[in-house]
Amino acid sequence: MQEKYKLDKCIAIMYTLGMLDLQFRQIFANNLIHYRKKVGLTQVELAERLNYTDKSISKWERGEGIPDAYILNEIALVLDIPIGYLVSIEKPKKLNRLTKSKYFVTLLSVGIAWIAFVIAYVALRLFLPEFERPWLVFVYLIPVASIIVLVLSSVWGTKVVWAVSVSTLIWSLTTSIFLTFLEINSIWLVFLIAIPLQIMTIIWFFFREILRKEGR
C-alpha cells in the first residue's frame, strides 16, 4: 500500500511538472506570436534574423518546444523587448519605445543633414553664382546620410542596415568624386576602387554571421 502511495505521488509530481512545462511553452508561444506581429515580422523573416528555419519558429509558436536561453535573448534583441516579456503572462500595454526612438533619431539626424545641405545649396547660388554645379551639394548628401545611418546602426547592432549603409556609402561617395572631377579623363577608374571595397563588405557581413552562428 505504501509503495502504491509513493508511486501515485511520483506520478502526480511528474504530471504537475509536465503541466507547468506545457503552460510555460504556451505562454512563450503566445508572447512570441504577439511581439513578432507587433514589429511586423513574418515567421520567415524572424527565422532569417536568428539563422534558424521558419519550421523552428512555427514549432515554438505552436507550443511544441522552447529555445534555449541564448536564443531567447537573441529573439528579445530582434523584437527589441526585454527577455522577460517573452516568458511573462502579463503583457505590457505598450511595446518598448526604443524601436520608435531609433527611427525618430535616424530620421531627425538625416533631416538635419538635409536642411544643412539645402542651406549650403542656397548659399552657393546666392554668393557664388559662378559655381557651375551647385547640385553637387545634394549628391554629397547621400554619403553623409549613409554615414549617419551607419553610425547609428553600429550603435544599435542592426547588421543588415549596417551592411546596406556601408554599400551605399561606398558607391555614393565614389559617384560623388566621379561627378566632381568629370574633367579628368580617367576619373572613371575610381569605380575600380569601389568594387573590391564592396566585395570586402559582403565577405565581412557573411563572415560575421558565420562567427555568430558558430558562437552558439
Residue-wise pLDDT for 21-55, tens only, equals 677 778 888 888 988 888 888 888 888 888 888 88
More confident residue, 71 or 15: 71
Please state the rounded mean pLDDT for residues 119-123.
93
pLDDT above 70 (res 214): no
Q: What pLDDT does 169 receive?
A: 94
Q: What pLDDT does 121 receive?
A: 93
Residue-wise pLDDT for 56-71, tens only, equals 898 888 888 888 878 8
Confidence of residue 17 (pLDDT cuts 50, 70, 90): very low
Q: What pLDDT does 4 receive?
A: 41
Q: Could you tell me the CA-to-CA distances from 95 to 18, 79, 81, 103 in Å, in that order? A: 31, 10, 7, 14
DSSP secondary structure, 118-138, as one string: HHHHHHHHHH-TT-S-TTHHH
pLDDT above 70 (res 16): no
Confidence of residue 78 (pLDDT cuts 50, 70, 90): confident
Confidence of residue 2 (pLDDT cuts 50, 70, 90): very low
More confident residue, 87 or 107: 107
Q: What pLDDT does 97 receive?
A: 59
Please state the rounded mean pLDDT for residues 147-159.
79
Q: What pLDDT does 98 receive?
A: 58
Residue-wise pLDDT for 91-103, tens only, equals 555 545 556 677 7
Domains present along the chain, CATH in parentheses: 2-87 (1.10.260.40), 99-214 (no CATH)
Who's near 79: CB < 8 A, 6+ residues apart?
Answer: 35, 36, 38, 39, 41, 86
pLDDT above 50 (res 1): no
**First-last CA distance in the chain:** 50
Q: Which three cell numbers stand for residue 117?
A: 545641405
Q: What pLDDT does 216 receive?
A: 45
Helices marked H in 80-189: 84-87, 98-127, 136-156, 159-180
